[in-house]
Amino acid sequence: MTDSDSSSPLEQLKLYVFKGDEQQTPTLEVFIPEQLNPDYGMYVWPCAPVLAQYVWHHRKEIMNKNVLELGAGTALPGVVAAKCGARVVFTDDAHQPLCLENSRKSCEVNGIAGAEFIAVTWGRFTKGLMSLQKLDLIMASDCFYDNKDYEDIIVTVSFLLDKNPGAKFWCTYQERSSDDSIEDLLQKWELRGSHVSLASFGADSASVAGSNQPGSHTIHMLEITKMSPYTFVAGCVC
């Protein structure tokens, strides 16, 4: 990860490098504008490079797919998806307009045209949320950082998966406490989560995509889908 000359004392560009194979896929370089600002969505969190690496690993799968990033902020995973040929909708909290503006800046810096930017507040069924077109994939990095927001996030994801049969939710989260869990909420909203090994997509390292992230933080990768009507959980049919 390198820093460029900043346009202001509080802003910098970070470089993330996603390695391709020598014969078919060139290396992808992504620059992300980051501001030293207390708002969560103004700088890159350790989970973002891990999710972006997962997106890159599945670059052929997401080409021409409709993707939505929740709580996009600096939008590294969404930018990688767009560079891989996906049609991406970037969303962030309606009460944090600067975060969504940062998503827009990330797209501009990386030459992405045609992306959509929509204010979506977790747990609220706003006009923007209701007007979304067909989605194949929803994703989010480190949205599960404050447990007061957990159910609002799950409700939003459940709604989107109900509206888009067959869609998946990819998310990364940082382990901050062994007591934190979303398992009960997933079952309540008829969702099923599967853990994905970081080693399976080249993210089992303190340095992902040429950066110094996630460092010493413990990051988990989940793939979440809707339960089928006959999924068994704890001895019950859900």
Q: Which DSSP string corresponds to 159-210? A: HHHHHSTT-EEEEEEE---TT---HHHHHHTTEEEEEE-GGGGT--SSB-TT
Determine the pLDDT at residue 189.
Answer: 95
pLDDT category at 61 given cuts 50, 70, 90 is: very high
Determine the pLDDT at residue 5.
Answer: 43
Mean pLDDT of 15-29: 86
Token code pair at residue 204: 């089992």
* Rounded CA Rg of the chain: 17
Give the list of residues 6+ apart from residue 167 with CB closer than 8 angstroms, or none. 135, 136, 137, 138, 160, 161
Mean pLDDT of the chain: 89
Token code pair at residue 202: 């080249």
Determine the pLDDT at residue 167.
Answer: 97
Determine the pLDDT at residue 136.
Answer: 98
Mean pLDDT of 22-44: 79
Question: Is residue 3 predicted with pLDDT exceeding 90?
Answer: no
**What is the reported pTM?**
0.89
Pairing state of beta strands 191-196 and 232-233? unpaired
Torsion-angle region of 56 (φ positive above 0: left; ψ -120 to 50: alpha; else: beta): alpha
CA distance 136 to 67: 6
Question: Is residue 155 predicted with pLDDT exceeding 60?
Answer: yes
pLDDT category at 135 given cuts 50, 70, 90 is: very high
Question: Is residue 41 predicted with pLDDT exceeding 70?
Answer: no
Convert the pLDDT of each residue in 174-225 to its tens digit: 998 877 889 999 999 999 999 999 999 999 999 999 999 999 999 999 999 9
Question: Is residue 153 predicted with pLDDT exceeding 50?
Answer: yes
Measure the CA dihedral 136/120/224/112, to 10°. Answer: 50
Amino acid making up residue 40: Y
Determine the pLDDT at residue 35.
Answer: 79
Q: Which residue has the tokens 């979440």?
A: 224
Identify whether the C-beta of residue 231 lies closer than 8 Å to the C-beta of residue 238: yes
DSSP, collapsed to helix, strand or coil, labels residue 156 as helix
